[in-house]
C-alpha cells in the first residue's frame, strides 16, 4: 500500500489541481481527494502557499470525515 500512496503523492505534486474537490467543501481550505489504487482509500489534501498539506490517508467508508477536526489546527 505504501507504494500506492507514494504514487498518489507523486501525482499530486505533478498535478496539484487535477484531483476533484472533496464533496461538500464550501469554504477554504479547498480540500481535494486523490483516490489511490488500493480502493477505497484516498489522500485528502489542500494546497496553501505552494505547499501541499496532507490532512489524511483515509478510508472512504469507515468513519468518513473523522479527520475534519484536524482542520481546526491548521
For 16-39, write each residue's pLDDT tens digit: 999 999 887 778 889 999 999 877
Q: How far apart are CA 40 and CA 13, in angstroms?
A: 21
pLDDT band with cut points at 50, 70 and 90 for residue 1: low
Counting the structural domains of the chain, the total is 1
Q: What's the pTM? A: 0.84
Domain range for 68? 2-73
- The predicted pLDDT at position 23 comes to 81
* Residue 28 CA, distance from chain mean position: 14
Amino acid at each position: 500500500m505504501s507504494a500506492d500512496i507514494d504514487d498518489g503523492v507523486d501525482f499530486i505534486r505533478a498535478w496539484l489541481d487535477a484531483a476533484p474537490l472533496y464533496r461538500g467543501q464550501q469554504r477554504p481550505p479547498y480540500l481535494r481527494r486523490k483516490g489511490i489504487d488500493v480502493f477505497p482509500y484516498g489522500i485528502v489534501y489542500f494546497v496553501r502557499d505552494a505547499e501541499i498539506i496532507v490532512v489524511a490517508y483515509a478510508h472512504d467508508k469507515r468513519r468518513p470525515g473523522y479527520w475534519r477536526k484536524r482542520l481546526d489546527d491548521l
